[in-house]
Amino acid sequence: MFRLMSSLLVALTLIVFVTGCSKAPETELNLCNESINKAQMAEAEQYAAETYQQAIDSLNSAKTEIQAQESKFSLFRGYSKSKEILASAQKLADQSVAEAVQNKERIRVEDSTQIVMVTGLLAKADSAIASAPRGKGTKADIELFKSELAYTNQVFQTCLTDYTAGKYLAVQSQLATIENKLNTLLGDIQAARDKISGNK
């Protein structure tokens, strides 16, 4: 009788132990979600897109693994794999935060340099239009140049507003477009000058 009771006690202890080890990793999942939220706050989706996406993919993979284990009978569940994946996802999320901070600052500095360059090009284009030769056949061209410069300057002012708001990645693309536009405009103005010179 004593032996039977001992065996039952051992079996019950084993069942409790196995069941206890088969609990879904809620703590790990919560910690991972917190890291993902921090990554979102740091705009990692924009400034550390690859690492951030890896973190999201790992989190989704862990959730799929957890669901797969939960569909099993409790004694046969095991969450060690999902815990490993969650740990990896959390690490990637934390890494994406660091990358986002670094990349955002780098792009901010690049934007500030580009803003100085574009400001110079705007002044150069304005000066070129003001000194463009007036004559027969140039009036329409000059008015077109003025209109293009005014519009480009308006877009640039919007860029400055976005820069102040910290939208550095969007500004980077806009500044590149503005620079190309101004260089094209300067080329067109020079072509108009050459045209007048050739007609003299």
Burial class (CB in 10 A: 0-12, 13-18, 19+), 59: buried
Tokens read off for 56: 């999201």
Distance CA 97, CA 29 (A): 18
> What are the boundaries of each domain within the chain?
2-99, 104-195
Local mean pLDDT, 10-residue blocks, the chain (200 residues): 50 46 86 98 97 98 95 89 97 98 98 98 95 75 93 97 96 97 94 72
For helices 26-41 and 49-70, angle between their N-to-C axes, nearest 10 degrees: 160
Give the per-residue pLDDT at 174. 97
Q: What's the pLDDT at 8? A: 47
Structure tokens at 93: 């999320």
User: 129-132: long-range contacts (C-beta < 8 A, 24 or more apart)?
Assistant: 129/189, 132/189, 132/192, 132/193
